[in-house]
Chain A
């Protein structure tokens, strides 16, 4: 058969079957969003596909902001049903959503993620406070009423108790939701604890300007923004034995043979310490459901209920085994999903 005949017949077959199957609708759940939530979502999707009659949901990565942007594109089968996020949805995103007809959103908080500071297993161990990180990474420090460029090059200059090791920090890039938590819970906290914030305000800055100055990270190569994933941070630490990286607890738990974790304000990051709030650097993890899709896409409600069930997201479930810090108020979350409680109600 010639090419022309072949392609014509393929097109004809396609056209005929297209009309026959036109009324079919999507029958799998489509999810996108945070790369921090991705491993949890895939574990749930996998178990969901195995134990229910619904197809396994398709889970995309891409980051919290990308996920929420696609979530807010509108209602319909070509839009995603669930957005995973490692931060809560912003007001501006809710407005975009509303403008595109996505008015009914269910917010589901399913657990917490600890953010840990880890270094090469063969190096010295570290006990940090937020002040140490602020003094090590701030672009400018206030000295005698003037802002001077950060002179610190070794950890023992920052805090005499720390080892004499060159400062080499690998922190998440601004694309990551993790960076927001790092900036607010570590750098800003350190800025306040050291009294630098007060010093800046005495110098005549207003509060916003002072906060901004606090969170400005030095750009002289001492701190490196990692825009990729934790695997990249780990590779950088492998290459530079002085490196200290910022990781998610789950990633660290999977690589305890290569990394050692530092304490923060004297607390070791464990699941219990994070759940109780004793360990200061943690954040809640969310997923957002498009309520308009609930009775249209088969399995959506079941998937959400399965996700937050005690078997999965509880303290002894597979998510906790992977590194999720179970939400002590999981029962409330389960009620939110079961009752389809919308945001803002």
Chain B
């Protein structure tokens, strides 16, 4: 036994990694690479998406206008000369078109700009919206008749596209809707400062326009429609959702029935949204007789869709409040309801609001259910909050569209100028979503408590 060596050198050095350690380390670094690749894929997809949307859509926020004096001839606009708006309304937009065309041609001549084009071709450079604009202006203020006004007139989509690089002299050669001569004239006008491309508030405020005047199409109706629907969702889904979650979480006995309800709520959150549209058509329109295409019905449908999201978020945040808070409140003699409303609910509020806002953001981007209740439509009248057209319910019953719906319908239009409009609408929608998510983050940061 005494011959036994006192210590033996370790079979392997601790400084050199053995095969197993190397294998584990390799696995870890492989996993990190996978992770980074996954994140990189996501970032690349986001960059591609944003570049394409911003590249296509930013130009929608700029629009080209031409300024020239418009002579509002009294003989044509008010033949009887008594400035009676009713009689003046008899002159349609078709009557205003030649007035604009002649004023434009006369102005070109006065400025010494020579062109070989006839008056028809010159007039074709202006937007079809222009006569309607001038007519509305005159009817609103009959005193304008007989005077000459300095007007800023929208130009047609192709001319506008020229200043945005979408239309070129080459493509105009092949394009039946614009000629290179028109583009050259537009360039000359721009050089003289009479035609300018400026920021386009109208894209946000004006209603949709038909396929023949993409330059006048705006998001006004869609934004109002989306806003009304969000109001309905907030007013209905938040109280109902919170009440349901409080009852289920704090009061309801734990038995088969509540388990069943719980499973169903989680299930509902995953139901395809178009199903809610079918339900909405059957219940709200056919049975309850609410108006088709109305933001009220849209909001009700989206409420049904958002409720499960809100209930799940609310229950999670109620559960996150430590039981000690409840027990302390009860121990000091508070009733169960007092303990909930005075202590638990305020502490759970940031989580509830975050869940609600995320649910709202989800509802804001939803198109499919709106298809079935007639909100995927061409709507030009701004919807009133207290609607005059509704026969069953006086709030928000006028026809409207919504932001994602507007994107959908613009991508189907044949004029290439609508590609720009659709991307512009996506940008607006993204900005709204970003704002809502920011609010959710701020609320969480500010009020969240940790134990």
Residues of A near any B CB (own CB < 8 A): 3-4, 7, 10, 14, 17-18, 20-28, 30, 32, 35, 38-39, 41-43, 45-47, 49-51, 53, 55-56, 58-62, 77-78, 80, 121, 228-231, 250-251, 253-258, 311, 318, 321-322
Contacts and interface: CB of A to CB of B under 8 A. Distances in A.
30 contacts: A3-B238, A7-B235, A14-B393, A21-B390, A24-B388, A24-B391, A26-B389, A26-B390, A28-B381, A28-B389, A28-B399, A39-B413, A39-B414, A42-B210, A43-B210, A53-B89, A55-B389, A56-B381, A59-B377, A78-B285, A78-B291, A121-B174, A230-B414, A231-B413, A231-B414, A250-B414, A254-B177, A254-B414, A257-B171, A322-B212
Interface in B391-408: 391-395, 399
A257 B391 contact: no
Interface residues of B, number: 55
B409 interface: yes
Given A10-B235, A21-B388, A35-B412, 9 more contacts: A46-B380, A58-B379, A77-B289, A78-B292, A80-B292, A231-B413, A251-B414, A254-B415, A258-B416
Given A60-B377, A257-B175, A20 B293 contact: no
Contacts of A45: 210, 378, 380
Nearest to B398: A28
Given A43-B211, A254-B414, A56 B286 contact: no
B298 interface: no
Contact of A32 (B89, B135, B210, B374): B374
A47 B93 contact: yes
B414 A14 contact: no
A56 B211 contact: no
Contacts of A26: 291, 389-391
A42 B377 CA distance: 10
B391 A17 contact: no
B211 A42 contact: yes
B416 A254 contact: yes
Contacts, number: 146
A331 to B, nearest CB: 19
Contact of B132 (A32, A50, A256, A322): A50
B411 A14 contact: no
Nearest to B231: A10
Nearest to B236: A7
Contacts of A17: 386, 394-395
A-B complex: 7 closest residue pairs judged by Cβ atoms: A42-B210, A39-B211, A56-B380, A257-B175, A257-B171, A58-B399, A59-B378
Contacts of A78: 285-286, 289, 291-292
Contacts of A47: 93
A253 B414 CA distance: 9
Instruction: Tell which of A39, A56, A231, A254 has the most Cβ of chain B within 10 Å.
Output: A254
A61 B394 contact: no
A30 B413 contact: no
B394 A14 contact: yes
B24 interface: no
Contacts of A251: 414
Nearest to B399: A58
Nearest to A41: B378
A42 B378 contact: yes
Given A230-B414, A250-B414, A254-B415, A43 B212 contact: yes
Contacts of A50: 92-93, 132, 135-136
A318 to B, nearest CB: 6
Nearest to A247: B414
A114 to B, nearest CB: 14
A41 B380 CA distance: 13
Nearest to B377: A60
Contacts of A25: 389, 391
Nearest to B418: A231
Interface string B80-118: 000000000100111000000000000000000000000
Contacts of B210: 39, 42-43, 45-46
Contacts of B238: 3
B412 A61 contact: yes
A38 B212 CA distance: 12
Interface string B228-250: 00000001001100100000000
Interface string B211-233: 11100000000000000000000
A322 B374 CA distance: 26
Contacts of A121: 174
B254 interface: no
Contact of B414 (A32, A77, A255): A255
